[in-house]
């Protein structure tokens, strides 16, 4: 047993080292390619130029305002979009007729290009943070409803029959079985929603914002500052990864607690 645990830990360490090595190799190839003229430095910039620009933005504290605004909008989008989506999924689970009624509409809404409709949504909701958050919510809410509802209806039927045989009503069925058994699945939905929320925020900031990572990326493209564009993208990727890692940590804690209970 101990040997197996040691092998698992060793494999994880090797994987992490390989990932770091691959990342460093990509940066080195990118840097050398840009400096040697293999890659057009105007179009692709270079890691040294990007990190130098990032250092300047950090040193002048200019990056923090953009970062705070984008993260705040994204977190709001995730909280409101996920909560509302889960609530609607619960309502649909509790009423099968209603779920059948709205099913084709959900499929239609899921197929709609929400980013293309972003200008209309911003006009409806208003400019500023409110409009950007609405765009973010519109992108992730339908996915949340469909995914969560499918998780709810696919719980083991034998367990449902057993609880019903003890006289459990719908509320007890949901609170004692359906929701607890799908808690990890809901965490996975949140993981997906992190990326979707960022898409909505960046699109919204492209359209109406005067601050934020989306604004930095758009502004860099307008003035042909590709180093600024790449810096914004790298910061965006880093922050999105940290948010994903935080949710992943919560998931591991819940899995450990569940394992102890079992």
SS3 assignment for the chain: CHHHHHHHHHHHHHHHHHHHHHHHHHHHHHHHHHHHCCCCHHHHCCHHHHHHHHHHHHHCCHHHHHHHHHHHHHHHHHHHHHHHHHHHHHHHHHCHHHHHHHHHHHHHHHHCCCCCCHHHHHHHHCCCHHHHHHHHHHHHHHHHHHHHHHHHHCCCHHHHHHHHHCCCCHHHHHHHHHHHHCHHHHHHHHHHHHHHHHHHHHHHHHHHCCCCHHHHHHHHHHCCCHHHHHHHHHHHHHHHHHHHHHHHHHHHHHHHHHHHHC
Cα–Cα distance between 45 and 203 in angstroms, integer? Answer: 23
Query: pLDDT tens for residues 95-129?
Result: 888 889 988 888 888 888 877 788 888 888 877 88
Give pLDDT, residue 76: 94
Cα–Cα distance between 213 and 68 in angstroms, integer? Answer: 9
The model's pTM = 0.86
Number of C-beta neighbours around residue 152 at 10 A: 22
Question: Residue 112, class by beta-carbon neighbours within 10 Å (0-12 exposed, 13-18 middle, 19+ buried)?
Answer: exposed
pLDDT of 262 over the 80 cut: no
Domain boundaries, the chain: 62-261
**CA dist list (Å): 122 to 58, 115, 203:** 31, 11, 11
Give pLDDT, residue 190: 93
Domain 62-261 has CATH 1.10.3720.10: yes
Query: pLDDT tens for residues 168-225?
Result: 788 888 888 888 888 889 999 999 999 999 999 998 888 887 888 888 888 888 888 8
Name the residue among 83, 200, 214, 232 with its Cα closest to residue 131: 200
**CA dist list (Å): 35 to 55, 138, 178:** 20, 43, 57
pLDDT of 261 over the 60 cut: no
pLDDT of 84 over the 90 cut: yes
Give pLDDT, residue 188: 92
More reliable by pLDDT, 160 or 89: 89
Cα–Cα distance between 86 and 242 in angstroms, integer? Answer: 24
């Amino acid at each position: 047993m101990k040997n197996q645990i040691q092998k698992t830990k060793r494999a994880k360490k090797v994987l992490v080292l390989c990932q770091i090595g691959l990342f460093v190799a990509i940066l080195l190839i990118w840097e050398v390619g840009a400096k040697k003229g293999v890659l057009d430095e105007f179009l692709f910039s270079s890691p040294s130029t990007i990190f130098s620009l990032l250092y300047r933005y950090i040193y002048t504290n200019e990056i923090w305002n953009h970062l705070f605004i984008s993260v705040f909008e994204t977190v709001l989008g995730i909280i409101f979009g996920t909560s509302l989506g889960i609530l609607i999924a619960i309502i649909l689970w509790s009423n099968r007729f209603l779920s059948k009624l709205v099913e084709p509409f959900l499929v239609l809404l899921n197929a709609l290009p929400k980013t293309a409709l972003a200008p209309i949504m911003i006009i409806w909701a208003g400019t500023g943070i409110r409009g950007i958050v609405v765009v973010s919510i519109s992108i992730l809410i339908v996915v949340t409803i469909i995914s969560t509802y499918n998780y709810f209806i696919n719980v083991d039927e034998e367990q449902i029959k057993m609880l019903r045989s003890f006289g459990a009503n719908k509320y007890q069925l949901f609170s004692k079985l359906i929701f607890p058994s799908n808690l990890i699945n809901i965490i996975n939905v949140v993981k997906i929603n992190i990326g979707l929320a960022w898409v909505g925020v960046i699109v919204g900031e492209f359209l109406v914002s005067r601050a934020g990572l989306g604004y930095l990326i758009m502004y860099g493209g307008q003035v042909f500052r590709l180093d600024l564009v790449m810096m914004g993208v790298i910061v965006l990727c880093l922050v999105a990864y940290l948010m994903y890692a935080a949710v992943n940590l919560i998931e591991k804690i819940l899995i450990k607690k569940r394992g102890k209970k079992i």
